[in-house]
């Protein structure tokens, strides 16, 4: 019987020094813990940031702002990053398998199934997958905190038992320890709400692409996937094992939800940025939240933002409160022109559904 499956994500700030160079000792520590879990019969997938930061000193560059240059740097740095993992895992008789993914791989059903099959075969072969975002050929700009979200999506993909996000703090604290000497660890969070998200800061270091905000977003995705998440300090001894075993104080534990969202709806809800908002009347909100129906033009009162068909939009009720998110089949111009009309009054070439139920997620 296969052991438990852990997805361990480690960030750039935990892997590099102040100059942006990789610290081999940090990777060796993580790989030693992975080896210990493997020896105990558990399975581990590593999601590792650090390619861009690793490439900068090799090329003698400071951090550029041009996305194309960042992508080129990541291609150089990725090779150096994986070489460190290869050597650190080989010291324990383990083999690393590089896998480069992007969140878009979780939208297309065929790509989703292929990614899952590849990772499962690697695990069956005894390989330790080392995953990073495919920055070098991404279609859009390298985005804030993508590897945190990517790790959560991988946890969903593989139905992991645990997602542990390793960072440079012991977990989520009651305050910023740089400003509050009495800040203490929050050991358990049942749900990520707006107040908690508002308290989270930005990027913790200049080398990292994310901060606690992106980690909370990842914990929310994992919770909706039914996966327990722990945000913990990368320097803690045996941190991955302690997180897996539920040792008190190992980090901040996020309790998973009982209902697991499909991968496509996870992507819509949490991984795609909203391009605008469609406002609906109370009848439409009540129907959408209580029954498996699609949004029709008749229930729309107005729209905000500039969006095209197939973009992600938020849905808000008469009070302005957002209650859902989905992929629209209408552009903002079409919503403005056709909102409020009955289906029978629509032009024949216009879809009857503005947001199909399969492309709609009701938010808590």
Low-confidence winner among 13-17, 42-46, 181-185, 225-229 (lowest mean pLDDT): 181-185
Query: What is the rounded CA–CA span in Å between residue 214 and residue 220?
Result: 10
- Provide the CATH number for the domain around residue 111: 3.40.1160.10
Q: Are residues 53 and 152 in the same domain?
A: yes
Decide if 278 is inside a domain.
yes
Q: Are residues 193 and 152 in the same domain?
A: yes
Q: Are residues 164 and 17 in the same domain?
A: yes
Q: Are residues 178 and 88 in the same domain?
A: yes
Q: How many domains does the chain have?
A: 2
pLDDT tens digits along 159-186: 999 999 999 899 988 877 777 777 889 9
The pLDDT of residue 199: 65
Residue 204 reports pLDDT greater than 70: no
The pLDDT of residue 272: 76
- Give the domain-ending residue among 236, 263, 290: 263
pLDDT tens digits along 123-138: 999 999 999 988 777 6
- Give the domain-ending residue among 263, 291, 307: 263
Beta strands in the chain (DSSP E): 5-10, 43-48, 95-101, 127-133, 162-167, 188-189, 228-233, 252-254, 276-280, 300-305, 312-316, 322-327, 360-362
The pLDDT of residue 24: 93
Instruction: List the domain range (segments joined by +) for residue 155.
Output: 5-263
Decide if 87 is inside a domain.
yes
pLDDT tens digits along 252-285: 999 998 878 887 788 788 767 799 999 999 999 9
pLDDT tens digits along 310-341: 999 999 999 999 999 999 999 999 999 999 99
Q: Are residues 34 and 165 in the same domain?
A: yes
Q: Are residues 235 and 278 in the same domain?
A: no
Mean pLDDT of the chain: 88
With bands split at pLDDT 50, 70 and 90, how would you rate the model's confidence at 66?
confident
Complete DSSP assignment for 28-97 = HHHHHHHHHHHHTT-EEEEEE--HHHHHHHHHT------HHHHHHHHHHHHHHHHHHHHHHHHTTT-EEE
The pLDDT of residue 71: 87
The pLDDT of residue 200: 63
pTM for the predicted model, two decimal places:
0.81
Decide if 228 is inside a domain.
yes
Where is pLDDT greater, at 22 or 287? 287
Q: Are 88 and 28 in contact (CB under 8 A)?
A: yes
Beta-carbon contacts of residue 61 (< 8 Å; ≥ 6 apart) = 69, 73
Decide if 281 is inside a domain.
yes
The pLDDT of residue 20: 72
The pLDDT of residue 202: 45
Q: Are residues 203 and 340 in the same domain?
A: no
- Provide the CATH number for the domain around residue 318: 2.30.130.10
Q: Are residues 331 and 220 in the same domain?
A: no
Decide if 268 is inside a domain.
no
Decide if 217 is inside a domain.
yes
Q: Are residues 212 and 346 in the same domain?
A: no
Decide if 132 is inside a domain.
yes
The whole-number average pLDDT for the span 40-50 is 96
Q: Are residues 137 and 168 in the same domain?
A: yes
Q: Are residues 82 and 129 in the same domain?
A: yes
| Beta strand pairing call for 228-233 and 162-167 | parallel
Decide if 112 is inside a domain.
yes
Q: Are residues 204 and 330 in the same domain?
A: no
- Give the domain-ending residue among 263, 286, 310: 263
């Amino acid at each position: 019987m296969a052991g438990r499956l852990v997805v361990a994500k480690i960030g750039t700030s935990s892997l590099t020094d102040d100059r942006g160079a990789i610290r081999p000792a940090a990777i060796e520590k993580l790989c030693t813990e992975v080896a210990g879990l493997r020896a105990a019969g558990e399975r581990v997938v590593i999601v590792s940031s650090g390619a861009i930061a690793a490439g900068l000193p090799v090329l003698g560059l400071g951090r550029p702002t041009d996305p194309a240059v960042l992508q080129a740097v990541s291609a150089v740095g990725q090779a150096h990053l994986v070489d460190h993992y290869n050597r650190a895992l080989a010291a324990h008789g383990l083999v690393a398998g590089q896998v480069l993914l992007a969140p878009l791989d979780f939208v297309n059903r065929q790509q989703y199934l292929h990614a899952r099959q590849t990772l499962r075969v690697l695990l069956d072969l005894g390989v330790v997958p080392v995953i990073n975002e495919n920055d070098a050929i991404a279609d859009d700009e390298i985005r804030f905190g993508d590897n945190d979200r990517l790790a959560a999506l991988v946890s969903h993909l593989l139905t992991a038992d645990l997602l542990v996000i390793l960072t440079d703090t012991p977990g989520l604290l009651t305050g910023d320890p740089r400003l509050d000497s009495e800040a203490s660890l929050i050991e358990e969070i049942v749900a990520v709400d707006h107040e908690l998200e508002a308290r989270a800061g930005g990027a913790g270091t200049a080398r990292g692409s994310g901060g606690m905000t992106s980690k909370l977003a990842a914990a929310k995705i994992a919770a909706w996937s039914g996966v327990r998440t722990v945000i913990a300090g990368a320097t803690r001894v045996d941190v991955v094992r302690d997180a897996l075993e539920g040792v008190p104080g190992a980090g901040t534990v996020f309790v998973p939800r009982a209902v697991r969202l499909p991968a496509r709806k996870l992507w819509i809800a949490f991984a795609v940025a909203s391009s605008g908002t469609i406002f609906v009347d109370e009848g439409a909100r009540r129907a959408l939240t209580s029954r498996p129906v699609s949004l029709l033009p008749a229930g729309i009162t107005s729209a905000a933002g500039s969006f095209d068909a197939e973009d992600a939009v938020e849905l808000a009720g008469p009070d302005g409160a957002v209650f859902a998110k989905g992929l629209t089949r209408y552009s903002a111009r079409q919503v403005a022109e056709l909102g409020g009309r009955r289906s029978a009054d629509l032009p024949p070439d216009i879809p009857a559904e503005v947001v199909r139920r399969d492309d709609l997620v009701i938010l808590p």
